[in-house]
Chains A and B, each alone.
Chain A
């Protein structure tokens, strides 16, 4: 055999990477085959559309929701609840997480407590939240807050703890005081990981939306799904779930874009 250099990357190399085009081709075919499988199974006639509606039915139902119902209003109120619950979590978890990850006494005070609370199911807090906060917007935001805050706090503390000790000690030998180390080393060093944590917990905020809208809601994507269930409108349930999925995906992409924009040094080689 002559020295044959293969310019193409092998597809099945362990931890290999794909060319951009190949990546998109495979990713799209994964999405498309899921859609086609759904279509094929549902259109076959073997399954009652009440159990599994066809894609066109779901699309019709979404269109009707937009035209006759209040799809935009539902989207707006749900986005508001998710963002408000998420922001409230983030505003509290960020400083607290940095302190837990930096100072042992703060860690000793908060970490066992947080570890304990985060195992409590957020949904089980609904009766208490109704009792304490009432049944208005505050209650929905509170449920999303309970579902995300405690995880977020622990993850941010961990992000902060992963800042290499050498970075901190180098600053100490250059004369940095405690505040300077936190603000000029720990924070900028942990920022990319923290933004990733926010991205992941934003996903959880979306999944807690339906739980939150169990609380005496009369609007919102999650509420629409729950109401459709009462009337066995499977096509609308599908539409609602898919919409929530799409919004989740969109926010995720926004976070990824912000990551690339904010931390260009991570993406240069």
Chain B
């Protein structure tokens, strides 16, 4: 890949738990092109959230490197915004105030000329409209449904024009219908904003529907097991989920997760139990 925006090399994460040395992430290599949408899936313990958090600068790596635009990252940065599954909104601020939160911070205030302020106001308004939040702009987060709260979280993350959006199971707590709406919304926004997205999920269908590439990870030790390129055009619609390509890829990834999860059912035991006559 020429000029990847994110370059992950030999990334490692180890920690000690109960005296044992746990390898949460081993020798992960991954490049993301600018504007690319990449999803991370895998059985629990595969290190997908760890990988995302290291790229976000929220956790230090034990080895290897993460470069953004060729420069090694040092902690969190305004070029990499993060969206969490929940509890990240500020309940004492209204929807609008949440979205404009970054405007209060020094890093974003330094460059404020009058036109900067105007364009920020304009951007906040545009994000509110884009996310379908106009009718709740003055509401507080705990008056909103889970789906609406995540719209606010995404708008807030986009407010500072990050080049990279890191999403940690952002729709994991939403019902299936709301999720589908959010999928189309986030796809639309990422194309519009030309944002590079790294997205963690446990939902394979979600992973394929959203991504240019799906990264399959495996546990014990946490590692990248395979990278699948999604054979669908950039502009997605829900009907594509019924295409043979989609279904085949879904089967393949699901099988990959099953094979690496280390949680096989003991069929022999089940059979033997079946032999026991009912009392």
Contacts and interface: CB of A to CB of B under 8 A. Distances in A.
Contact of A166 (B80, B87, B104): B87
Nearest to B94: A265
A167 B78 CA distance: 16
B107 A188 contact: no
B133 to A, nearest CB: 17
A185 B142 CA distance: 17
Contact of A268 (B56, B102, B142, B157): B142
B84 A185 contact: no
Given A185-B90, A265-B92, A173 B82 contact: yes
B88 interface: yes
Contact of B88 (A169, A175, A184, A266): A169
A126 to B, nearest CB: 42
A79 interface: no
B58 to A, nearest CB: 5
The B interface is mostly helix, strand or loop, or mixed, namely loop
B143 A268 contact: yes
Residue among A173, A174, A176, A184 with the highest chain B CB neighbour number at 10 A: A173
B140 interface: yes
A269 interface: yes
Interface in B210-267: none
A174 B58 contact: no
Interface in A247-269: 263, 265-266, 268-269
A189 B142 contact: no
Given A172-B58, A172-B76, A174-B81, A265 B140 contact: yes
Contact of A269 (B87, B142, B153, B157): B142
Interface residues of A, number: 23
Interface residues of B, number: 35
Contacts of A180: 104-106
A263 B92 contact: yes
A73 interface: no
A189 B88 contact: no
B88 A166 contact: yes
A167 B105 contact: no
B106 A188 contact: no
B120 to A, nearest CB: 13
Contacts of B142: 265-266, 268-269
A152 B227 CA distance: 53
Given A169-B58, A268-B142, A177 B106 contact: yes
5 contacts: A164-B87, A170-B82, A171-B101, A180-B104, A265-B142
Closest 6 CB pairs of A and B: A166-B88, A175-B107, A164-B87, A175-B78, A265-B140, A173-B82
